A and B are shown apart, each in its own frame.
Chain A
């Protein structure tokens, strides 16, 4: 699991002691209560107290059983010079085109710079001719912008959308009787993400704020998300386990509602819901 794209941010952050903001938020909450927003309801998922038992399947049996033999063969290949074809593969013409596009942009930049020098030498902008020069210069700059835009569009069309299975984990609500100091989230066998909750964040959660705990690429397969709650009232290492199958090439949301949790019932009392983003998902890195 990659964690390089991990981000945490507040959708709603209350400025400390900002009465106006609190009032606005209260008004919004009341308005929301009066006319419910058609927010995605999602599917509720059970949070287990113990990790679910999964089918044990072996994979690549021959490779594992013969690993020493295969590695020895590979090592032998490295030690001995071979007469293999070392010619480079053909470069994708699109990649060459990027260089061309960049060169064109630089030519335009040079032209703009030359014009700029000329402008520095001329001290007066009084005549109609000089105004014409200015217009031409603006035209060149405009062309520069257009070429840069074309280049960015080429890059975007070639490199975005290749891999889009993403998961966003958000946290909402806050328990009334037991403080939560930190959440630890582990997706499948990946690294553990620690989400400490500051006093301001806790206050915001109490008032209906939502915290984005994770947003990143995930493998499109069934996997277990482990959520561990840390706080004085919570038993050490108390975890809940959520089985989730992020849909391929879609943005899957997982919301962890903390408002229902109780120390007696542990992390399994988290109310978890999931839903898919309506539109096409976007690159989490961008």
Chain B
């Protein structure tokens, strides 16, 4: 799991350029590493895995609609994870089926044994990276104070936005061993923090 992102102190221009050049050289070197040496699957934003999940869901049920997204592996500082879970609900079958996507493939397909009739997500939601940038403004101070970390982010419509339950929102869960978790709800259309709560 990632810790909260840190904002570096402002440095002189020459030093910043030097650092940028070093980072560029390092990144270039990384680009030439053969993929077989990379090992771990590459992290990606939530939207990147939606296509294959949706195709699979339509094979399962033509009326399947996306109702929930959650990171299945640890998040990095850009809101990317190596595996994302997508939950679809079919009103016709009255069932929900989850697809976990890794490396552009379905790693897990599982029909949930729980009944979860949630409304479908809006289609114009912002990607996980953009949403995390908005949440970090609040989450960072929590992490500093309580030594917390971002454990989960999920996209849903309804339960966590009392004022406007029709709104699709990203919810971020910052966990700490020393304090109750912090929930940050970000509007998935505008990228604005709607509410925070502890629990």
Interface on A for B, CB 8 Å cutoff?
1-2, 55, 57-64, 67, 70-71, 73-74, 77, 82, 84-85, 162-163, 165, 188-189, 217-223, 248-249
Binding site secondary structure of chain B: mixed
User: A1: nearest residue on chain B (CB-CB)?
Assistant: B60
- The total of chain B residues at the interface (CB under 8 A) is 40
User: A248: nearest residue on chain B (CB-CB)?
Assistant: B55
Using known A-B contacts A165-B59, A221-B105, determine if residue A67 contacts B100 with beta carbons closer than 8 Å. Answer: no
Contact B58 A248 (CB under 8 A): no
Using known A-B contacts A59-B98, A60-B98, determine if residue A85 contacts B55 with beta carbons closer than 8 Å. Answer: no
Contact A165 B60 (CB under 8 A): no
Contact A59 B59 (CB under 8 A): no
Listed by A's residue number, 17 A-B pairs whose Cβ atoms lie within 8 Å are: A2-B59, A57-B108, A58-B72, A60-B70, A60-B98, A60-B100, A62-B70, A62-B152, A62-B173, A63-B154, A67-B114, A70-B116, A70-B159, A73-B158, A77-B165, A220-B52, A222-B106
Contact B109 A219 (CB under 8 A): yes
Q: Which residues of A have CB within 8 Å of B87?
A: 60, 63
Contact B100 A57 (CB under 8 A): yes
Contact A59 B110 (CB under 8 A): yes
User: Considering the chains assembled together, what is the distance between the CA atoms of A63 and B85 in angstroms?
Assistant: 10
Is B68 in contact with chain A by the CB < 8 A criterion? Answer: yes
What 9 pairs between A and B have smallest CB-CB spacing?
A: A73-B159, A221-B106, A84-B166, A59-B100, A59-B85, A219-B56, A60-B85, A163-B58, A217-B59
Minimum C-beta distance from B176 to chain A (A)? 16
User: A166: nearest residue on chain B (CB-CB)?
Assistant: B59
User: Which of B106, B152, B158 has a CB less than 8 Å from the CB of A77?
Assistant: B158
User: Considering the chains assembled together, what is the distance between the CA atoms of A8 and B110 in angstroms?
Assistant: 28
User: Which of A58, A62, A73, A221 has a CB less than 8 Å from the CB of B56?
Assistant: A221
Contact B55 A74 (CB under 8 A): no
Q: 5 other contacts beyond A62-B154, A217-B58, with CB at 8 A cut-off?
A: A57-B72, A57-B108, A67-B116, A222-B106, A223-B109
Contact B159 A165 (CB under 8 A): no
User: Considering the chains assembled together, what is the distance between the CA atoms of A71 and B158 in angstroms?
Assistant: 11
Q: Which residues of A have CB within 8 Å of B165?
A: 77, 82, 84
Interface hits, B161-188 → A, CB 8 Å? 164-166, 173
Is B196 in contact with chain A by the CB < 8 A criterion? Answer: no
Is B1 in contact with chain A by the CB < 8 A criterion? Answer: no
Contact A189 B56 (CB under 8 A): no
User: Considering the chains assembled together, what is the distance between the CA atoms of A165 and B160 in angstroms?
Assistant: 36
Q: Which residues of A have CB within 8 Å of B115?
A: 71
Is B62 in contact with chain A by the CB < 8 A criterion? Answer: yes
User: Considering the chains assembled together, what is the distance between the CA atoms of A63 and B72 in angstroms?
Assistant: 11
Contact A57 B114 (CB under 8 A): no
Is B2 in contact with chain A by the CB < 8 A criterion? Answer: no
Contact A57 B59 (CB under 8 A): no
Q: Which residues of A have CB within 8 Å of B158?
A: 73-74, 77
